[in-house]
């Protein structure tokens, strides 16, 4: 299941009796256990949605999204990344962010539309699967420029699942809309299309792996504030976050076009410099040849 390797890359720390006898270190299992806990949370969200316990269903889905955000970091921190873990994470993401939100939304509003509502959630689940498959394929690409790492192609599956439930957050806040069910159907299809679209969206990679020392305490304060707001006012926090994310999609597309234009201009500049350098290199032999011919003509005249 797990290919043997030496995570410490130190011959003095290697224990030949470990993997040789089929034993796996516990730290290798920790990221996969986190992924499985997230999968259980997503399946529980499906059950709670069927039982019409919307608040708990949303809470379980948010918890699954939180675990999905940390399992990769845990794997890299423990040096326990594996192909098995990557495949398990992808399958869990489809259940948590493709199937679970679709079932919750169908049970909440689209069930009244019968077949039309079911078709809408089917489209959402299929688009989520396609989005995850495209993301897995993009991980194998090594020819992409560095500036593209700050953007995703389309809306990520976890973000799509959370913003899909925006009508539920709005209803919890006391907002009522006329003819809500048809609006929910159109909204579900729109989010599904955003996930498989080529619209660039901001990636968490743009935050960076390091921050200045003077920003450490403010980051801690903001993180504590966000968690406090999420636990105290979950619907309001999730609603504001979803609206802000949707509002940032045009901004991310504009920033992507600017970055692409700068990269193209930089490439043209580099190509122009290389062409000039080649041109000077070709002119130099010709200049030397003309000088030698001039010297020969002067000597013949003398």
Express each pLDDT in 242-257 by its tens digit: 999 999 999 988 988 8
DSSP 248-290: HHHHHHHHHHHHHHHHHHHHHHHHHHHHHHHHHHHHHHHHHHH
Average pLDDT over residues 197-219: 76
Q: How confident is the model at residue 119 (pLDDT cuts 50, 70, 90)?
A: very high
Stated pTM of the model? 0.78
The answer on pLDDT for 282 being more than 80 is no
In a domain, 9, yes or no: no
In a domain, 121, yes or no: yes
CB 120 within 8 Å of CB 188: yes
pLDDT for the residue 150: 76
Angle (CA) 17 23 28, round 5°: 120
Output the domain CATH number for residue 200.
1.20.120.1760
pLDDT for the residue 49: 94
> Cα–chain-centroid distance for residue 246?
15
In a domain, 52, yes or no: yes
**Domains in the chain, number:** 1
In a domain, 3, yes or no: no
Q: Supply the range of the domain harboring residue 40.
A: 21-266
In a domain, 290, yes or no: no
Express each pLDDT in 133-165 by its tens digit: 888 887 766 666 777 777 888 899 999 999 999
In a domain, 302, yes or no: no
In a domain, 284, yes or no: no
d(CA 164, CA 192): 9
In a domain, 53, yes or no: yes
Helices (H), the chain: 26-50, 54-77, 83-94, 100-108, 115-138, 157-164, 166-172, 180-196, 216-232, 234-301
């Amino acid at each position: 299941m797990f290919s043997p390797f030496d995570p410490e890359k130190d011959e003095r720390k290697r224990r030949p009796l470990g993997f040789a006898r089929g034993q796996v270190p516990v730290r290798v299992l920790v990221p996969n256990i986190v992924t499985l806990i997230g999968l259980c949370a997503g399946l529980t969200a499906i059950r709670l949605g069927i039982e019409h316990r919307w608040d708990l269903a949303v809470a379980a889905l948010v918890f699954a999204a939180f675990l999905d955000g940390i399992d990769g970091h845990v794997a890299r921190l423990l040096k326990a990344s594996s192909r098995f873990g990557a495949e398990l994470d992808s399958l869990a993401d489809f259940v948590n962010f493709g199937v679970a939100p679709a079932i919750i939304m169908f049970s909440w509003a689209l069930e009244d539309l019968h077949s039309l509502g079911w078709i809408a959630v089917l489209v959402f689940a299929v688009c989520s699967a396609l989005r995850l498959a495209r993301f897995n394929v993009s991980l194998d690409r090594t020819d992409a420029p560095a500036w593209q790492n700050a953007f995703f192609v389309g809306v990520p599956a976890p973000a799509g699942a959370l913003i899909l439930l925006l009508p539920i957050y709005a209803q919890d806040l006391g907002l009522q809309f006329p003819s809500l069910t048809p609006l929910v159907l159109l909204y579900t299809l729109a989010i599904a299309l955003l996930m498989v679209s080529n619209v660039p969206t901001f990636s968490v990679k743009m935050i960076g792996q390091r921050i200045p020392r003077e920003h450490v305490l403010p980051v801690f304060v903001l993180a504590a504030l966000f968690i406090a707001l999420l636990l105290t006012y979950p619907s309001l926090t999730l609603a504001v976050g979803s609206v802000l994310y949707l509002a940032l999609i045009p901004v991310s597309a504009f920033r992507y076009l600017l970055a692409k234009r700068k990269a193209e201009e930089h490439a043209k500049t580099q190509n122009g410099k290389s062409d000039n350098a080649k041109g000077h290199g070709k002119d130099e032999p010709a200049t030397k040849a003309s000088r030698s011919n001039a010297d020969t003509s002067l000597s013949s005249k003398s």
